[in-house]
Amino acid sequence: MTCCELCPRKCRADRTKHAGFCGGTDRLRVAAAMLHQWEEPCISGKSGSGAVFFSGCALQCCFCQNESISNQNFGKELSVPRLAEIFLELQEQGAHNLNLVTAGHQLPFVIPALELAKPELHIPVVYNSGGYELASALRQLDGLIDIYLPDVKFLYPETAQKYAHAPDYPETAFLALEEMLRQTGRPVLENQLLKRGCIVRHLVMPGHRHESIALLRHLAERFGTEQFLLSLMAQYTPVRQQAFPELNRRITKMEYYSVLKTCQELGFSGFCQETASAKSEYTPDFRLQGL
């Protein structure tokens, strides 16, 4: 924590003295813990996913729907034992799984909390990520995570630089996905709920359907279409006036369905959204609930 290199940015911040690029310090910070109904059907099920939303983010996309916690670092400081208690409380509430949302920069707290809770934790653990992860950091989670739920946002370094100041995002995300697949293997479902495996998410963005189509083809060539489930998302919602005019609108049906057609032609299995899902009300209301 005195020279942080947890994420691909390797900002080397002394987090005991000041926040790193991600907003993280030497204190665990969480924005909410709740039963979440808006994940993929095999994650949310009927009762909901036990989502723990961690404050801060190493990626800082300019279009983030969870900006209040990812960019503005809204949240509450917690101890590791309290975090472990929250994990078990979500299980007691009937969560189908424990869903760790943007936890990469908090691994020094998350790993010991998982180890504390594991003897009593009987539901799968989901690692829900923006995809910008070091494979070396993910290896620390081997045996603790059952399901990986990463985004693969960008194929081109120029796009990743423009919207997230991370030109290394594409190859970094693909290497991270390789490690995730190594740990989990192919998807395993029981009673329509995912118990083990990986779901790769891709958000179709306005004006970028050709990049999305090329990204799907790259995934198919590099990993095949049976190693993971694919979740193609239509929920892009402008959260504020953008510095980039092309992002100041929702995607069109033509944009989304042209990408979906490629997804189907390539033979991916998984999930797609209706374009009506692009609504701000689907963004969780972070009020420190469950903490």
Q: What is the pLDDT of residue 70?
A: 85
Residue 143 lies in a domain: yes
- What tokens were used for 133? 């992860």
Please state the domain count of the chain: 1
Residue 16 lies in a domain: no
| 255-280 pLDDT tens trace | 999 999 999 999 999 998 766 554 55
pTM of the model: 0.96
Residue 99 lies in a domain: yes
The residues of the chain scoring below 70 in pLDDT are 240-241, 274-284
What does pLDDT average to over the chain?
93
Range of the domain at 159: 34-50+79-282
Indicate which CATH number applies to the domain containing 137.
3.20.20.70
Residue 38 lies in a domain: yes
Residue 69 lies in a domain: no
Residue 11 lies in a domain: no
- Give me the phi and psi of 157, to 5 degrees please: -55, -35
Q: What is the pLDDT of residue 282?
A: 55
Residue 57 lies in a domain: no
